[in-house]
């Protein structure tokens, strides 16, 4: 079967089912910290759970297979995966990072890694001229967040990979928004792909987790050394839940994505909406690249309202749509970037990036599209009446 045609099948059967010892079709949950070393002359497959745990490894094997990587690693959160990737670099190194990336990445680089001498330039990674301008002799890597956050700008991964490799740089892609179902950055030339599995991958809003998959044995060893030494591992219980989430990722994404396309058009038709950002719209600036490099356009839709004073009454009037920092669960939710995903930025950084209070970032869930539309319309009507 071709990988492309049977992608959903690969998620349902990622090679971790059927325990050879018992025939169990669901991988077992091993909480044991230690593994008995009966014969000290024979090395153990597992010795201590931080270094290797069979449940975490079942997840890691599945992710490596789905991402087409040499190996994959599961971390305690998306930020733990990013921090562990940054720990592969050293004092004096310089990174180029997507300008519109999640606030937590920027806070980590500013508040933690700057103290260890890692410097950063933020650029629009969909602009090769901007990448050229940011390049320094000490630049070691590019971190692309695809799509960018909250404006869903699309980076052409193959072009950036070719550019980066020409300059001897490593390409890391935070692919949280697209998930391994919609895009395979390693196949497009990236060296490391990272995810907050807290979002669509686990998919039910009840797990905090991060993933990384890498190309090549050398990088795999570098990242494993950080994982084992710094220890930001995912627990066996949460590894089990993420693996369960992976099996239904294609069907959840297909459903949420179909609704997101409809919602983007619906939102664009509302008089209170000034702009819609969704790469699935034919007139979106990233549409052609997104269509060429991914299977679909995802379930995130960002809008800018025409008036900032509508936001608070709109949020208060919503019936079932949630408001908050999380996204990628079964329920449709809205983040207000200055208060949620970009709260970690300074007010100057937010102003420079046009991240203002009139922006709503939707994560489309699994409800019926008509119900989501009704909730939005009635909340807008309430907001207009209140003002």
Q: Provide, rounded to whole angstroms, the least separation between the CB of residue 148 and ligand PLP.
A: 9
What would the two tokens of residue 140 be?
């070691």
Choice between 93 and 145, CB closer to ligand PLP: 145
Taking the least distance from each CB to ligand PLP, the nearer of 53 and 149 is 149
Q: Closest separation between CB of residue 370 and ligand PLP, Å?
A: 28
Q: Which of 120, 111, 166 is nearest to 145 (CA)?
A: 120
Q: How many other C-beta atoms lie within 10 A of the C-beta of residue 297?
A: 26
Residue the block writes with tokens 């970690």: 344
Identify which of residues 65 and 341 has a Cβ nearer to ligand PLP in the complex: 341
Q: Which is nearer to ligand PLP, 52 or 210 (CB)?
A: 210
Task: Spell out the SS3 assignment of the chain.
Answer: CCCCCCHHHHHHCCCCCCCCCCCCCCCCCCCCCECCCCCCCCCCCCCECCCCCHHHHHHHHHHHHHHCCCEEEEECCHHHHHHHHHCCCCCCCEEEEECCCCHHHHHHHHHCHHHHCCEEEEECCCCHHHHHHHCCCCEEEEEEECCCCCCCCCCCHHHHHHHHHHCCCEEEEECCCCHHHHCCCCCCCCCEEEEECCCCCCCCCCCCCEEEEECCHHHHHHHHHHHHHHCCECCHHHHHHHHHHHHHHHHHHHHHHHHHHHHHHHHHCCCCEEEEECCCCCCCCCHHHHHHHCCCCCCEEEEEECCHHHHHHHHHHCCCCEECCCCCCCCCEEECCCCCCCCCCCHHHHHHCCCCCCEEEEECCCCCHHHHHHHHHHHHHHHHHHC
Nearer to ligand PLP, 341 or 379 (CB): 341
Give the shortest CB-145-to-ligand PLP separation in angstroms. 5
Nearest approach in angstroms of CB 94 to ligand PLP is 21
Report the residue number, 55 or 102, with the smaller CB distance to ligand PLP.
Answer: 102
Q: How far is the CB of 199 from ligand PLP (least distance, A)?
A: 7
Which residue in the shown chain puts its C-beta closest to ligand PLP?
78
Binding site for ligand PLP (CB under 6 A): 77-79, 102, 104, 145, 149, 174, 176, 196, 198, 208, 210, 341
We find the least distance from the C-beta atom of residue 195 to ligand PLP, in angstroms, to be 7
- Give the residue with the Cβ less far from ligand PLP, 14 or 210: 210
Give the shortest CB-341-to-ligand PLP separation in angstroms. 6
Q: Please report how close the Cβ of residue 79 comes to ligand PLP at its closest, in angstroms.
A: 4
Considering beta carbons, is residue 85 or 118 the nearer one to ligand PLP? 85
């Amino acid at each position: 079967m071709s990988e492309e045609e049977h992608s959903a099948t690969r998620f349902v059967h990622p090679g971790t089912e059927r325990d050879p010892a018992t025939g169990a079709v669901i991988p077992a949950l091993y909480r044991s910290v230690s593994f008995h070393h009966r014969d000290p002359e024979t090395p153990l497959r597992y010795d201590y759970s931080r270094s290797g745990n069979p449940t975490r490894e079942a997840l890691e094997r599945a992710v490596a297979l789905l991402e087409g990587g040499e190996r994959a690693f599961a971390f305690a959160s998306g930020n733990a995966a990013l921090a562990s990737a940054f720990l592969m670099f050293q004092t004096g190194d310089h990174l180029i990072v997507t300008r519109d990336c999640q606030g937590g990445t920027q806070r980590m680089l500013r508040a933690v890694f700057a103290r260890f001498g890692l410097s950063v330039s933020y650029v629009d990674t969909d602009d090769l001229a901007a990448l050229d301008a940011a390049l320094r002799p000490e630049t070691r890597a590019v971190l692309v967040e695809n799509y960018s956050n909250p404006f869903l700008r699309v980076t052409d991964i193959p072009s950036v990979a070719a550019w980066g490799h020409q300059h001897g740089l490593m390409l890391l892609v935070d692919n949280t928004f697209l998930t391994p179902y919609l895009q395979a950055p390693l196949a497009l030339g990236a060296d490391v792909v990272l995810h907050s599995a807290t979002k669509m991958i686990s998919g039910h809003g009840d797990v905090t987790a991060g993933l990384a998959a890498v190309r090549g044995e050398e990088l795999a060893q570098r990242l494993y050394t950080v994982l084992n030494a710094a220890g930001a591992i995912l627990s066996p219980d949460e590894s089990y839940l993420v693996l369960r989430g992976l099996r239904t990722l294609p069907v959840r994404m297909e459903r949420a994505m179909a609704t997101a396309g409809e919602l983007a058009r619906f939102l664009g038709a509302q008089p209170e909406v000034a702009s819609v950002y969704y790469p699935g719209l034919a007139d979106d600036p990233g549409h052609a690249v997104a269509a060429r490099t991914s299977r679909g356009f995802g379930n995130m839709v960002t809008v800018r309202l025409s008036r900032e004073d509508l936001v608070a009454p709109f949020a208060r009037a919503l019936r079932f749509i949630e408001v908050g920092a999380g996204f990628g669960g079964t329920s449709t939710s809205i983040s207000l970037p200055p208060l949620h995903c970009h709260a970690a930025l300074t007010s100057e950084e937010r102003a420079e990036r046009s991240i203002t209070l009139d922006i709503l970032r939707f994560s489309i869930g699994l409800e019926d599209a008509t119900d989501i539309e009704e909730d939005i319309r009635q909340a807008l009507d309430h907001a207009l009446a209140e003002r």
